Amino acid sequence: MPITPPTHRVERSIRAKTGAKVVAGIDEVGRGAWAGPVTVCAAVTGLRRAPDGLTDSKLLTVKRRTELAEVLDDWVTAHALGHASSEEIDELGMTAALRLAAMRALEALPVCPDAVILDGKHDYLGTPWQVRTVIKGDQSCISVAAASVLAKVRRDALMAELGADHADFAFADNAGYPSPVHKTALQAFGPTPHHRMSWAFMDALPRWQHLKRTRAVPDEETPPVEQMGFF
């Protein structure tokens, strides 16, 4: 089935209704991983025609994502990344960690956006930002699609670097997400310093229970699928 290319419809609507001149698209990657940071990209694209093939990073091959990221580096008006570490995720919960990463990305932009578009239905950013949430925004909004590709490619590269000292976990292949190789390595060697020690997968590792962390306040916004264990 052909992929419908993203447009500037939402960006134009925000500009028309609010008077915003600079609109940033925001997307995250790594939310459901068991290891590594959650990474947020904020991208400002203006209203220019998007590069051919731009869409949600999950719909692209690794090769095509990498090629697009190289094009987007020069094509976007501005972009910046923000990360929240596995330790911060354990301490704060995913919702607060997402906000922290997004704030870091927005603050790193060379221009301050008047409004932002968040992929999904939940506004984890909040005040003082003027936020529009868009379900499947990474497929329909050009700025969010650009952020999606840049975030995915950059985090994948980061996970490959983090995995250099933990070859059995194959982070270069799974980016910290659960996979058969990843699960086998956890059972055999226990979690690395990059794992999210408060997550439910730790319950399936009886040999390593002494490493599990418990937050004082549960993160009610984290979907159950992202906290699931081995089964």
Binding residues for a divalent metal cation: 27-28, 119
11 burial via Cβ count (<10 Å: 0-12, 13-18, 19+):
buried
Specify binding-site residues: 27-28, 119
54 burial via Cβ count (<10 Å: 0-12, 13-18, 19+):
buried
Phi, psi of 59 (to 5 degrees): -95, 0
| CA triple 187-188-192, angle to 5 deg | 80
- Going across the sheet that includes 78-84, the strands are 78-84, 38-44, 23-29, 115-119, 131-134
Beta bridge mates, 142: none
User: Which H helix or E strand runs over 11?
Assistant: helix 9-18
For the chain, first and last CA: distance in Å?
Answer: 32
Find tokens 């939402």 and name the residue.
10
* Structure-derived torsion over alpha carbons of residues 76, 79, 81, 82, reported in degrees to the nearest 10: -140
